[in-house]
Every structure is written in C-alpha cells, then in structure tokens.
Amino acid sequence: MQELIFATKNAGKVREFREFLAPLGIQVRDLTELEDLPEIVENGQTFEENALIKAQTIAEFLNQPVVAEDSGLVIDALNGEPGVHSARYAADHDDAANNAKVLERLTGFAPEKRTANFQTVIVALKPDGNKLVAKGSVHGQILDHLQGDNGFGYDPLFFYPPYNKTMAEMTAAEKNEISHRGQALKQFMRDFNAWWEA
C-alpha cells in the first residue's frame, strides 16, 4: 500500500484525511507514529506559509511525500485574530482556554458584529519540490456560549446560519459537506491523482 505522511498530531484532522484517501488505497500516517523528527517551526505569516513549512520540514527529513495543513479561525471584529495563532491563542492546543479567550475578547459585541470564517490551506509536497495547494473557507458567526459536543477546536462557538447550528452540533457528514477543511479536501482530491502520479 502506498503511504502519505500527514505532518500533524491532530487526531481529528487525521481521521478526516483517512476517510478521503482510503478509497484510493493510500495509507495515511501521522507524526504520532514516527520518532526522532525535527522540530517544526511554524513562523509563517499565513496559513499557506505554515502548511508549507510543516510539509517541507518533514518531506526533507523523511525524503518521501508529505501533506500538511494549516487552518484557523479569522474573526472580523478582532482584526483577523486568532488567525495563524488559532491553535495557540491562549494556550498550546488547549481548546477550552482558546475558546474562553475568544469569548472574553468578544464580550459586548452584538451578534451581527461577531462574523468570522474558518480557513484551511492544504499543501502536499514531494521531495523533488512538486507541490499541490488546496484551500477552503466557511463563513459564520461566533456565539456568546459553547454549543454542541462534536468536533474540536472552535467548533462549539462557530454558528453556521444555513444549518442553524454550530459546527459542534453537526454530524461528520454535515460538517464535511460545508466545512473549510471539507472544501479544501474536495479540491485536494480533485487534483490529487495528477500530483501523486507526476
């Protein structure tokens, strides 16, 4: 079976990727399954720069194809925060602390001023530099309280008006249909074979 390394330790993201790539007979392995990896310094100013840094660091080290993803929440009233710092906004990968900080920063903002979007950029990279980039975004509003038990990250705060529910209240199928990562994955899958076989 062919193998693609996903430069992440996020189990939720890995699960979504595996669902998309399993029908192609491609095994996705993540960084929790590998040892002695170099440190990834995510110092990019954009989601695409950070995704490329992750992919490049691991592809060069392992000398095999790597896919990486960077995504985050962009809140209009907070001038784009948390943005590229979404996973580390209040504390490193601490969903509860990050959500609490967003709620605190948005205290007093009317619902119509709490507009936001989730953005994802996927970068797949081969050791020879052959690159595939896919992007997705979804627009919604930030609630003033957590709602729903599914999903991860900021999903319980992110309300999607067309479904009248938060990302954390959606089924996996519903979320994949409209989510930023779902959109980016669809674009990624459209272009994947050409990149994989080049």
| Residue 86: other Cβ atoms inside 10 A | 22
Residue given tokens 């390394």 in the structure block: 5
Q: What are phi and psi of 189, to 5 degrees?
A: -70, -35
Query: Omega before 82 cis (within 30°)?
Result: yes
* Catalytic residue, candidates 30, 36, 70, 76: 70
- Buried/exposed code over 146-183 (b: 16+ C-beta within 10 A; e: otherwise): bbbeebebbbbbbbbeeeeebbbbbeeebbbebbbbbb
Q: What CA–CA distance (Å, rounded) separates 176 from 151?
A: 11
Whether 70 is a known active-site residue: answer yes
**Residue numbers annotated as active site:** 70
